[in-house]
Structure formats: C-alpha cells, structure tokens
Chains A and B, each alone.
Chain A
Amino acid sequence: DAGITQSPRHKVTETGTPVTLRCHQTENHRYMYWYRQDPGHGLRLIHYSYGVKDTDKGEVSDGYSVSRSKTEDFLLTLESATSSQTSVYFCAISEIAGGTTDTQYFGPGTRLTVL
C-alpha cells in the first residue's frame, strides 16, 4: 500500500469557519491531488500539485486553496466553510503526470461535515 495518510479522518465544523485538511506521503512522489466525492458525482478534482510550491486548479476549485511547502505534505484549506463543501475528501499521489502517467494511489479519505 502507498504510504498516504490524511488528517483529520473526520471533522464536523460550522459554516464560516476555516478548515485545513492535511495529506502526508512517505513515497517521495512528485504529484499530489485533492478530490472530493459526492453522491451521484463520483470523484472530482479540486487542486493538484506538480512539485513543491507548484499547484494548479482542478474542476471544482472555487472556495478552496492549497499549499505545498514540502514534498511530503499537501494542504487543502477551506477559507470559510459552507454546507455545500460537506463531502468526503481524498488525497492521491503519483510519480509521473503530464503526457505520460503513473497510477494515482489514494489516501483513506476525510469525511467533512459543515453544519
């Protein structure tokens, strides 16, 4: 199994509060991703990173920001959480991307509830 951990695994918060989710990997992979999973939508890409301090937006990036100051950590921040951001968040890693691709391996997920 790929060495990917996510923290916290579960979080309940209130509308308007900031929330930060952390993804940590021990594989030294270059690429990291944040997805959200919602019923009826499968998984959708929020943001991704192709190196330290290199990030870009995905399909559903509004309301989210990310940071990557070290290879092993990729943070997802909800500046002001809304109920529409209640979801399960998955982090993924891969070694190669952009033209060729390696497999993306996923972390265990974080269940976020915004009341």
Chain B
Amino acid sequence: AQKVTQAQTEISVVEKEDVTLDCVYETRDTTYYLFWYKQPPSGELVFLIRRNSFDEQNEISGRYSWNFQKSTSSFNFTITASQVVDSAVYFCALYSGGGADGLTFGKGTHLIIQP
C-alpha cells in the first residue's frame, strides 16, 4: 500500500523566514515518482516539482528547494525568505504505478505567511 504523510497540518511564519514542509512516503515499489503541488486560496492546483526514485539530487528553483532522501523516505520542501504570496496549501504526492494509475496525496500543509 502507498501512503504519504504530511504531519504538519498548519504552519505560520513571519515573512522573510525560512520554512520547511515535511513529506514522508511509503511504497514497496523501487520505481516511483514524488511531486509537490501548491493550492493557493483561489483553489487551483499548481504543479511545482517531480522527482523520480533514481534521482536523489536536491533541486533548487529560486527561493524553493527540495531535499529527497531515500534512506528516510522523505521529500521535504523548503521556502527561503518566505513571502506573503507563498501562503497556500501544499500537497506532496506519490506515484508508483503499483495500483491504480493515479497519485496518492498527503493531506496537505496549510502555510500561512504573515506580513
């Protein structure tokens, strides 16, 4: 069975602080893909990143960075120098193709950036 755990239900920080969103996953497959999506208050789901299980390189995109560690089954997301526009619900998701061809989502972390 596949599972994604986002233990942080809600995080509130002051603007310009760094913040890390945790994601822990479970799968029996050796080939799998991990994703992060952003859901701003307007409600749409915005794709942020995809990482496959064979690529443990960390990735940086502007103020966003992702730390993938297979040893701890984690795929954490860090926002550096947070801004009010980063306020959103962030979802971590897993695809391993072992069952239905859909994504398994975590329950999401609601990030609040206070000015």
| Chain A residues within CB distance 8 Å of chain B | 31, 33, 35, 40-45, 48, 50, 56-59, 88, 90, 92, 97-101, 103-106, 108-109
Contacts and interface: CB of A to CB of B under 8 A. Distances in A.
A103 B100 contact: no
Contacts of B45: 43, 90, 106, 109
Given A31-B101, A97-B97, A97-B101, A41 B44 contact: no
Interface of B: 4, 31, 33, 35, 37, 43-45, 47, 50, 91, 93, 95, 97, 100-103, 105-108
Contacts of A105: 47
Nearest to A2: B47
Contacts of B31: 99
Given A42-B91, A42-B105, A101-B95, A106 B44 contact: yes
